[in-house]
Amino acid sequence: MSFKDPAPLDLKQYIREVPDFPKPGILFYDISTLIRNPEAWQVATGRLAQAVARFQPDILAGIESRGFLTAAPLATRLGCGFTMLRKPGKLPGKTISHKYSLEYGEDELQIQADAVTPGQRVVVLDDLLATGGTLAASIDLLRKAGAEVVGASVMIELLALGGRKKVDVPVTSLLTYED
Ligand SMILES: O=P(O)(O)OC[C@H]1O[C@H](OP(=O)(O)OP(=O)(O)O)[C@H](O)[C@@H]1O
Ligand SMILES: Nc1ncnc2[nH]cnc12
């Protein structure tokens, strides 16, 4: 993997912080302003790719929908396969599902049953780690599909929510926020 990082570039300046979205009291970390800037997005994906390469993955798994944005360019850079973890009813053919609890209510993710060959090394990617429920569920789902989940990587980690405690594989994050 060759990537020359034009350091120093503070990527946080490209993340827009939106108060009270999608509901009062939530501070939303918006990556739209990062991905629309070609230089900043090159740097962000380059740094993420360096972190993910250390896991020596065969396949990257992206979590719908913002996880697709991070996983797909990395798979291209690293020469890995890419597979989608999707919300229910979106994937054709035989699928494997995993239901999980969130702070309020239940959610579900699916993967195609033949997406992973048993024992393949998979790294799961998302844009952001908050409570960790989504990432933990994705890892459970990938294991149901036969994957060896060797790591997880996110662009943004919200430290105060302690999400990485729910995740039993090594997690790398590019940008951390205390609040
Ligand atoms: O750590 P958690 O508390 O589980 O939260 C993190 C998840 O929440 C967001 O996804 P969202 O469900 O908003 O879907 P989106 O990517 O389609 O916007 C984000 O992209 C992560 O997947
Ligand atoms: N605070 C937040 N900002 C952006 N995406 C999120 N997903 C879960 N919590 C989030």
Phi, psi at residue 120, to the nearest 5°? -65, 145
Residue 66 annotated as catalytic: yes
Residue 50 lies in a domain: no
Tokens in use for 165?
């405690």
Rounded distance, CA 120 to CA 59, Å? 7
**Residue-range definition of the domain harbouring residue 67:** 56-177
Query: Nearest 10 degrees: CA dihedral of 102, 60, 11, 6?
Result: 170
Residue 29 lies in a domain: no
Rounded distance, CA 30 to CA 44, Å? 14
Residue 11 lies in a domain: no
Tokens in use for 157?
């980690």
pLDDT digit of tens for each residue in the chain (179 aa)? Answer: 777 887 789 999 999 999 999 999 999 999 999 999 999 999 999 999 999 999 999 999 999 999 999 999 999 999 999 999 999 999 999 999 999 988 778 999 999 999 999 989 999 999 999 999 999 999 999 999 999 999 999 999 999 999 999 999 999 999 999 97
CATH number for the domain including 110?
A: 3.40.50.2020
Question: Which residue, 148, 72, 75, 118, is CA-closest to 168?
Answer: 148
Q: Classify burial at 9, counting beta carbons within 10 Å of its beta carbon; exposed 0-12, middle 13-18, buried 19 or more.
A: middle
Q: So what's the ipTM on this one? A: 0.98
Residue 17 lies in a domain: no
Write the DSSP symbol of residue 28.
E
CB-ligand 1 contact for 62 (6 Å cutoff): no
Rounded distance, CA 15 to CA 23, Å? 19
Residue 30 lies in a domain: no
Residue 8 lies in a domain: no
The active-site residue out of 66, 77, 86, 164 is 66
Question: What is the pLDDT, as a whole number, of residue 105?
Answer: 82
Residue 7 lies in a domain: no
The active-site residue out of 16, 36, 103, 121 is 103
Cα 111 to the chain's mean position, in Å?
15
What is the model's pTM? 0.95
Rounded distance, CA 134 to CA 126, Å? 9
Q: Measured in angstroms, how far is the CA atom of residue 83 from the centroid of ligand 2?
A: 22
Task: Please name the amino acid found at residue 140.
Answer: D
Write the DSSP symbol of residue 25.
T
